[in-house]
A and B are shown apart, each in its own frame.
Chain A
Amino acid sequence: MSTSLILLIVAMVGLAGYVIGARRSLAVGGGLSSKLHSRPGYYGSFVAVWAIVPAVFVLFIWLVASPTYISSSIRGAFPDEVKAQSEAEQGLAFGMITSIARGMNVLSLEEIDRVGSNPVDLRSALGAKGVPLAGDPQPYMVEAAGNLNTMTYASRLAMTAAVLAISGLGAAFAYRQIAPRFRARNRVEKVILVSLVVASSIAILTTVGIVLSMLTEATRFFTHVPAWEFFFGTVWDPRFAAAGSGGSEGQFGLIPLLLGTLYIGFVAMLFAVPIGLFSAIYMAEYASPKVRSVAKPLLEVLAGIPTIVYGFFALTTVGPFLRDLSSQLNGLVTGDYSNFIQAQSVLTAGFVMGIMLIPYVSSLSDDIITAVPRALRDGSLGLGATRSETIKRVILPAALPGIVGALLMTASRAVGETMIVVLAAGVAARIQLNPFEPMTTVTVKIVNQLTGDLEFTSPQTLVAFALGITLFAITLCLNIYALYIVRKYREQYE
């Protein structure tokens, strides 16, 4: 029986258990749910939980354990000369066995008889059915494949029986527990609590896993390149490392990338913060509800545009526009029509990224400004303050910590942005301060190092992980600091 069918049956048992359990509880309560400790639904859920959870648990354990067990017993039965071979070759042999086993399931009984023990015939027969084999199977392989099929079949049968039995037994056990004073609600709520905990720990564990994987790769990088050369190096020139070329020595200086990241992020914030804040103030304090209900969602649409779209907006529109503008300006002033703004430049990337960040700034700040209690507004207006005085002297100071938090979160987004920079600021890793020249960022270089034909042992590739962990540390610090500030601010009004 297939796994999904088993799951379906277990679910049906659970559903039936729910209905029967709920009915049973009403029956023991004499038809009145007020006589029961918990509402009938909780008794039903209790039975359903017992029918489903242990059975599914066993099912998954079995699904994980049985292939491992079967494979080790098949490998244990390999002839001695095969066992003497290397681990890799044994693995190949086992792979062939599983292919044969899969093929034998496709063949009809007569065909198996006809092929008999002739391995060469078997290969062509299987090939005709669409199951290619890497080489001619040896006799012991055919035998092992037979064993494999038998064991798999037996295991599946046993699993089906066990899971269904456990499901039924669980339901029956729970059913018998039902009594008027039985605390079904508390038990069910505990199960819900556990599942909530599991869900949140999965998210946390994933983060931990990602960090650990980056850390291990990064430490491998640091065995090739000393940490201080990475963190304080001023030249980024990783050279090439195509697979098999052995790789030549490169220079992996973080500083140019970090400077580029911070510079472009800074320019982006320069555009995003004033515009975003002003629009938030307008939305929160001046806009009539009608305008607000239209304008706010429209502004938030900006946040839904994929960043790659901003990227080619920068590449095809903003970049050339700035370049032409600069050449016209230059021409008007000096008579020399050469452009001083490159099409790909810090300014272009910062400007377009700033536009991307406006909705974040305005939406977050808007929420924070509207969270300032109405009583403070009234208090200030009641003293004869104008609206703008109220905003400047009461509302913004009260909202300031929250706004700073919002800006830090926005900044961490700017630091992590990739696509806009690739298209708008180029890939040249340089240390310079002219905003009209191209620069590049950490994320762009990560993409660069990880595209193409790769060898995951060379520093050229591993540096991506070191860059990644650095970037992660930066954004993590920004976010933690932002959360800290926002939380502190929340306490003021509670």
Chain B
Amino acid sequence: MNMMSEAAVEKALDQKMNDASYKMIGKDVSVYYGEKRALFDVNLNVRENTVTALIGPSGCGKSTFLRCLNRMNDTIENCRVTGRITLDTDDIYDQNIDVVELRARVGMVFQKPNPFPKSIYENISYGPRIHGLARNKTDMDQIVEASLQRAGLWTEVKDRLHESGTGLSGGQQQRLCIARAVAVSPEVILMDEPCSALDPIATAKVEELIHELRANYTIVIVTHSMQQAARVSQRTAMFHLGQLVEENDTDKMFTNPDDQRTQDYIMGRFG
């Protein structure tokens, strides 16, 4: 891909983003941990083929919101979610929605790289296997290769696919986890501070990867780094004390935010 066409692709994507309907719509989302309320009536929509960054000081509820999007909060005791979240047109908290199916459509990458203590190959093939995405060994090999290639890890690991995934470096492990998420062909990928445990070089690689993944997936990323939000995202949402302060184009957010609190946070005056 040369420079011209890359720019063209970017432009096309941006166009698509602006035209796009919302991939996920969150309406009046509130979350309670036991008696404590962690989110207050958040209304936030996620656009298709867009990287949406969630920023805000620690404990502001951005990770909580992220985990609502594929119901990972279900695994926490005493956690209660109210409001309505839709994926395309399906209410994901509806009785009829199978949470397993939902998580296959909305994948997740965690803060700390968490490869399974299995081989690299098995780490990738785990998801496709449980969802029956491969008809035979050849299919599976293709899925594994394609996923690793998408995650930019193929050339680094193709000769040691059957070595343990835990033996990789931190950055490689995180890209393995991204490849693992990609392998089940989700529509949305959620990332919870995916670079917080990585060094700058590995971070740069993962950021580049996120940028490329945008073409095929809708991405929501929680980050503590303003620069990272500015680099990888097109839309940014700012949380504070469990409330959504502002949601806007990233460019506007970092140059001329509507809300004073956003300005203060971005300028480093609190948080």
Contacts and interface: CB of A to CB of B under 8 A. Distances in A.
Contacts, number: 72
A295 interface: no
Interface residues of B, number: 29
A414 B105 CA distance: 49
A379 B130 contact: no
B127 A385 contact: yes
A373 interface: yes
B72 A381 contact: yes
A384 B130 contact: yes
B210 interface: no
Interface stretch (A157-165, A357-365, A390-398): A390-398
B166 interface: yes
B110 A375 contact: yes
Contact of B126 (A289, A375, A380): A380
Q: Which residue, A289, A380, A398, has most C-beta atoms of chain B within 10 A?
A: A380
B70 A382 contact: yes
B226 to A, nearest CB: 26
A59 to B, nearest CB: 57
Interface in B229-269: none
Given A378-B72, A382-B107, A394 B114 contact: no
Nearest to A394: B116
A386 interface: yes
A377 B112 CA distance: 13
A223 to B, nearest CB: 53
Nearest to A399: B117
A383 B110 contact: no
Nearest to B129: A393
Contacts of A376: 114, 116-117
A397 B101 contact: no
Contact of A381 (B103, B115, B177, B180): B103
Contacts of A383: 103-104, 107-108, 126-127, 130, 180-181, 184
A375 B72 contact: no
A378 B180 contact: no
Contacts of B102: 384
Given A383-B180, A384-B104, A384-B184, A389 B130 contact: yes
Contact of A492 (B70, B103, B104, B117): B117
Interface string A278-306: 00000000001100000000000000000
B197 to A, nearest CB: 11
A386 B108 CA distance: 15
A385 B116 contact: no
B77 A382 contact: no
A379 B110 contact: yes
B75 interface: yes
Contact of A398 (B108, B110, B116): B116
Contacts of B104: 383-384
B116 A378 contact: no
A384 B112 contact: no
A393 B117 CA distance: 11
A289 B34 CA distance: 14
Contacts of A385: 100, 126-127, 130
A385 B98 CA distance: 11
B84 interface: no
Interface in B43-101: 70, 72, 75, 77, 100-101
B11 interface: no
Interface of A: 288-289, 373, 375-386, 389, 393-394, 397-398, 492
